[in-house]
Structure 1
């Protein structure tokens, strides 16, 4: 039993020797006003950094994975809502893709006679849509900064109805609806004349009864997208408005479509992203500018598939960063305080100010000290000139050392 107690004491002493956090007696600590100021500043900095880290790690981030799209049989939905400054009887809108399939098998868009000029409320909505798209194109160059985040406000709406109906014959045609097309490159176009099928495949637009003065492909795109509409997706063509004074004018939009699977906390859909390149010109056969007047939207699908996942940042990284912040701020503040004290002492010593100033008289130095801490005055002993006097003081009588 005694050996067990001795071994425990030895083990405890070894553990004490390994203590990396030695304790300092309170009587040996010295507190100063400068140290208190540095401590307050240090705690404030730590609090601000901790709050920022908490806000950073409570937010989510998007993960993008890229892979080859192997789903070849999937159909693509094209959502269209655009207005052309021509009568519905003078235009034809349809799609022709690389498969050469009959255009009428994809579905049919609705044609509605309307007035191209917008009401004040509709103009306000169009201007707002254009400002939103311009802002997004200028400020957000990466899609992950805006798209599909569960904590981001999103814009989604539709053209409001006209407040007061105008009188007279409508001068424009609104083409809207959805088409189910094959997953290949295609061409959506609006041109003069109704389309008729051509054997063995394809179609043609018959426009021989339309006067050249009836041509006017001034148009407005209220909405154009692929797949099911998703909250948070930016559609580049929304709010597009082109006005032309030339009857023979061609507008071309080249679109690159990328299939995208979204798996976030608020969305679980399959959609499509796309980028647009625009080009338009006047047709003049005499000057070598050939073509067919109309609106042509040529789209092509990418072979890559993008998977979007919304994830929280790992909390072990949060703990590591918190330890680094607290320890780093304490170490840096301690070094800064030591440097400040060193510079202060060096300056005071150089200028002989503060505690390094010249000492006053003894009375000024001991002023305010308790009596017990002052030394007692001792009378100075008289000087002894001879050895006999010193012996007499020690108790030996003086003797004459002469000879008889």
Structure 2
């Protein structure tokens, strides 16, 4: 009974072994074996890298965040406007100026070659002495203010400012604006313009709105930290005007986003899409050129999760790849052996007959 059981177990062996003296090693077999080992090692490393790499899964849900702030990272250059005339202003949909929030905005003076020649820190988004004039560029107020200011005499500091800015314009000075605006998480806009100047001073400097060149380069504009694969559509955007002026408007749809790393770390940020519009200056326009960024928030939040393939999936693919390579190299070895036999047998018969 024991002998029979052993025999049954032996019959289940899927890998029968030939006697040692029946095995015949050839040079072609060695060559195929080396090629097979190289292929299997390459495929193993490929599968290992595939297993260790991560992929992302996107999920959407309703955005339930309330009471949080929205960080706006700005890095822009205005090659044709000095820093003294540029102002940064932000306003939300309720009409409230964002002057009570902490901001980190710097203005860097640039010479005509683009090199930094000075730095200025902006503590508030609306300069105190110009708060009243900042958004009063509609027709009625424009006319009233101009009539009143014409009646006033320019003080010495204002005259010095005008001379300084005119000299900067003659020297070809530009300005780089960069930093972070921390605004409320509601729809709103921010813009960079010469609206910080009162109208009469602006008229004295530029000689008219048509001479205000708001050409700009957007190096970076984002609404939160970066994450792998993010694309900010306005990065490296260049808009240069020649012999014309006008107002640029960028309509931005902000999509709240969470990126979850494989380590469970969560990065709250935002993606956005943008539509651009340019309105050239006309003779009857009372407004002054500016660059507006009008943003709105999507009610949908996107969650991007990093995930890794299962270990069982890795083992399954590995067995398939290595087993398939072994089978193919075995077939190739048999074919080469038979080919060599076919070539050598006629030679052997010819030598025997002689």
Please report the TM-score for the alignment, with normalisation by the length of structure 2.
0.68
> Is the counterpart of residue 12 in structure 1 residue 6 in structure 2?
yes
Query: Following superposition of structure 1 onto structure 2, how do residues 51-66 of structure 1 map, counting pairs within 5 Å?
Result: 51-66=45-60
Find the counterpart in structure 2 of residue 338 from structure 1: 334
Q: Residues 22 and 344 (structure 1 numbering): CA distance in 2 closer, same or farther, change over 3 Å? A: same
Is the CA contact (8 Å cut-off) linking 2:82 and 2:168 kept in structure 1? no
> Mind listing any 5+ residue stretches in structure 2 that lack a counterpart?
118-166
Deviation by residue 1:143-196 (Cα, 9 ceiling, x = unmatched): xxxxxxxxxxxxxxxxxxxxxxxxx7584455444333233332222233239x
Find the counterpart in structure 1 of residue 248 from structure 2: 251
Find the counterpart in structure 2 of residue 224 from structure 1: 221
Q: Residues 82 and 51 (structure 1 numbering): CA distance in 2 closer, same or farther, change over 3 Å? A: closer
CA distance in 1, matches of 2:348, 2:287: 95
Deviation at 1:296, TM superposition (A): 1.3
Is the CA contact (8 Å cut-off) linking 1:63 and 1:311 kept in structure 2? yes
CA distance in 2, matches of 1:209, 1:290: 15
Q: Residues 283 and 348 (structure 1 numbering): CA distance in 2 closer, same or farther, change over 3 Å? A: farther
Compare relative contact order (CA 8 Å, sep 6+) and give the higher one, 1 or 2: 2
Q: Residues 110 and 62 (structure 1 numbering): CA distance in 2 closer, same or farther, change over 3 Å? A: closer
CA distance in 2, matches of 1:321, 1:231: 27
Is the CA contact (8 Å cut-off) linking 2:257 and 2:304 kept in structure 1? yes
Find the counterpart in structure 2 of residue 180 from structure 1: 182
Find the counterpart in structure 1 of residue 161 from structure 2: none
Deviation at 1:332, TM superposition (A): 0.8
Deviation at 1:295, TM superposition (A): 0.5
Deviation at 1:334, TM superposition (A): 1.6
| Matched position secondary structure for 2:64 | coil
Q: Residues 37 and 354 (structure 1 numbering): CA distance in 2 closer, same or farther, change over 3 Å? A: farther
Q: Residues 103 and 37 (structure 1 numbering): CA distance in 2 closer, same or farther, change over 3 Å? A: closer
Q: Residues 108 and 10 (structure 1 numbering): CA distance in 2 closer, same or farther, change over 3 Å? A: closer
Find the counterpart in structure 2 of residue 318 from structure 1: 314
Is the CA contact (8 Å cut-off) linking 1:88 and 1:111 kept in structure 2? no
Find the counterpart in structure 2 of residue 207 from structure 1: 199
Deviation by residue 1:310-339 (Cα, 9 ceiling, x = unmatched): 333322222222211221111111222233
CA distance in 1, matches of 2:33, 2:228: 48
Is the CA contact (8 Å cut-off) linking 1:83 and 1:175 kept in structure 2? yes
Query: Following superposition of structure 1 onto structure 2, how do residues 47-126 of structure 1 map, counting pairs within 5 Å?
Result: 47-84=41-78, 85-87=80-82, 90-106=85-101, 110=105, 112=107, 114-115=109-110, 117-119=112-114
> Mind listing any 5+ residue stretches in structure 1 that lack a counterpart?
1-5, 123-167, 196-205, 362-404
Find the counterpart in structure 1 of residue 121 from structure 2: none
Q: Residues 184 and 111 (structure 1 numbering): CA distance in 2 closer, same or farther, change over 3 Å? A: same
Please report the TM-score for the alignment, with normalisation by the length of structure 1.
0.61
CA distance in 2, matches of 1:355, 1:60: 60
| Matched position secondary structure for 1:210 | helix
Q: Residues 178 and 300 (structure 1 numbering): CA distance in 2 closer, same or farther, change over 3 Å? A: same
The equivalent position to 2:290 in structure 1, one of 291, 294, 316, is: 294
Q: Residues 109 and 217 (structure 1 numbering): CA distance in 2 closer, same or farther, change over 3 Å? A: farther
| Matched position secondary structure for 1:295 | strand
CA distance in 1, matches of 2:250, 2:41: 53
Deviation at 1:69, TM superposition (A): 1.8
CA distance in 2, matches of 1:24, 1:231: 56
Deviation by residue 1:359-394 (Cα, 9 ceiling, x = unmatched): 426xxxxxxxxxxxxxxxxxxxxxxxxxxxxxxxxx
Query: Following superposition of structure 1 onto structure 2, how do residues 22-41 of structure 1 map, counting pairs within 5 Å?
Result: 22-41=16-35
